Amino acid sequence: MKEKLSPVAYPTTKEEAFKWGFDVYQPKSTPMAWILDWKSASAGFGVSPERRAEVVEFRTGEDLSRLTVDDVIAGHSFMFKIHWHSLFKSIDKLSDQALAAKVARDIGYNLGKRGWELLQLKFGKPVPLEKIVWYQDCAHLLYGPDTHAYSWCDNEKSVCSRQGCLFRPPESMCESALYCRTFDNAYIEAYMDVEPDLYCVRVPDLGNDSSGKRCVHMWTYNKKVIENMSDELKSNIADTTVEVLKKKGVNL
């Protein structure tokens, strides 16, 4: 991770714009970021899906000393994903979808609240936009190589765009995307409850069928940034998030 923010090229190609989320949230000044080189930013990032499968399916041989740190971290990240979604799939099966969603929301809210409180202790109140970007990069590094993101800020907002995520369901569990989204909605709503002047949305996202290509978060201390979003984006903000934003005075 860099010791200071660096400018990100903008405007740029369509591929780069999609990666950073520039096509959704256009920078109002030079976009700035902490991490640019994801090839070396996260342990386990260079492990292929095929190698990861060999690790988690016990097809690596019996000499475990031959496993690299990258192998272990990539395998751990994937196992975390499997266990997380298996938990909610079991709750759904043994009870119902409503209870599973309630559990996801409770976990997400408590973790989000704690996370933002820790940020306030480290950076003060309100947490500066550039430190929100740092937090996103740090959190995604800790979540593992399956959750790399591209985070940046300008002088009015912070944005985090990610195509992979620890909580995105594996292909065999796409139907549990509801719980990932519920968890994440509660996370950002807790941020706003802890930080009175903060406004946050997560749109676009993967959708309940897990067909979306990315999730994009946006934080701002200027409610006009959200009020001036397109009607299409506004219509896809989660109902629970809309409720929090309206209570904070955002006109949606």
Q: Per-residue pLDDT tens for 174-221?
A: 989 999 999 999 999 999 999 999 999 999 999 989 999 999 999 999
Strand (E) positions, the chain? Answer: 6-7, 32-33, 150-153, 157-162, 199-202, 215-220
Q: Band of the pLDDT at 36, cuts 50, 70, 90?
A: low
Residue 188 has a pLDDT of: 96
Task: Give CA torsion, residues 80, 81, 84, 87, to 10 deg.
Answer: -110
Structure tokens at 136: 């996103």
Q: Per-residue pLDDT tens for 66-105?
A: 999 999 999 999 999 999 999 999 999 999 999 999 999 9
The residue among 178, 158, 155, 140 whose CA lies nearest residue 28 is 155
Q: Band of the pLDDT at 149, cuts 50, 70, 90?
A: confident
Q: Is the pLDDT of residue 26 over 70?
A: yes
Q: Is the pLDDT of residue 38 over 70?
A: no
